Amino acid sequence: MIITGHTVRGAVIDDETRCTHYHSEIDRIAIKFYCCDMYFPCYECHEENGCDNPKVWPKEKFDEKAILCGTCGHELTVSEYLDCKSECPACSAAFNPGCGSHRNLYFES
């Protein structure tokens, strides 16, 4: 699916990146997976439709754009996302703070 000019793969169900796994009002980001350089709404979508070789973003690459706001299309670096306090810095749309519990699936500690 094309969302704000970006291809988002997986079980996407709306134009703000919500998927069949995570679809609350505040589930509105997609993560560019380091292993395949493709956006997915969540790790489960990547497991189902991704590259079969999951790798997390290494710390030395945290300055690269890896998060897509499904509301406005702003791309955040990993560092910006980790520091954003669950809100898009461009449009102030709320992000799901619960995503932090999956941090280890996306980013190096």
User: Which pLDDT does position 41 carry in this prediction?
Assistant: 97
- Who has greater pLDDT, 100 or 39? 39
Gap between the Cα atoms of 8 and 17, Å rounded: 7
CB-CB contact of 31 with 39 (8 Å)? yes
d(CA 74, CA 15): 14
DSSP count for the chain of H helices, then E strands: 2, 6
Measure the CA–CA gap between 100 and 10, rounded to whole angstroms. 20
C-alpha 99/C-alpha 106 separation (Å) is: 10
Q: What is the pLDDT of residues 32-85, one digit of tens each?
A: 999 999 999 999 999 999 998 999 999 999 999 999 999 999 999 999 999 999
> How many domains does one find in the chain?
1
Amino acid 82: pLDDT? 97
Q: Mean per-residue pLDDT for 14-28?
A: 97
Helix, strand or coil, per DSSP, at residue 74:
coil
Q: Which domain covers residue 27, as residue numbers?
A: 2-105
pLDDT at 59: 98
Quick one: how far is CA 81 from the chain centroid? Answer: 9
- What's the pTM? 0.96
